[in-house]
């Protein structure tokens, strides 16, 4: 086998091993947190496992849009119409 194929094969095996090790570590963290729920608060945000970070990111992505009341929409509409009228008047000058 040429050297580069052997290296690619070894790299693939290393990658699989790393994935298995990461999976085992995440499982162990989950088990520890189930046994000791207080540990959940002991993590620094930058030290959280990948699955926690991904869940946290998903929560931010699914937030609902804030809706305006009818009065707020009307006030915004009127203010914008005034701005447009002012811009149009400035363009005519």
Q: Could you please report the per-residue DSSP string of 9-76?
A: HHHHHHHHHHHHHHHHHHHHHHHHHHH-GGGGGGS-GGG--HHHHHHHHHHHHTPPPPPPPHHHHHHH
In the predicted structure, residue 9 carries a pLDDT above the cut 90: no
Q: Is the pTM of this model over 0.75?
A: no
More confident residue, 38 or 24: 24
Residue with the two structure tokens 């290393």? 14
Q: Residue 3: enclosing H or E segment and its boundaries?
A: helix 3-35
- The tens digit of pLDDT for each residue in 25-55 reads 888 878 888 888 777 776 666 666 666 656 6
């Amino acid at each position: 086998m040429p050297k580069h194929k052997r290296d690619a094969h070894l790299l693939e095996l290393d990658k699989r091993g790393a994935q298995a090790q990461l999976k085992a570590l995440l499982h162990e963290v989950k088990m520890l947190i189930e046994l000791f729920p207080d540990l959940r608060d002991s993590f620094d945000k930058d030290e959280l496992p990948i699955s926690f970070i991904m869940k946290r990111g998903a929560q931010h992505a699914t937030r609902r849009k804030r809706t305006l009341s009818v009065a707020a929409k009307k006030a915004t509409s009127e203010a914008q119409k005034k701005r447009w009228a002012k811009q149009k008047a400035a363009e005519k000058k």
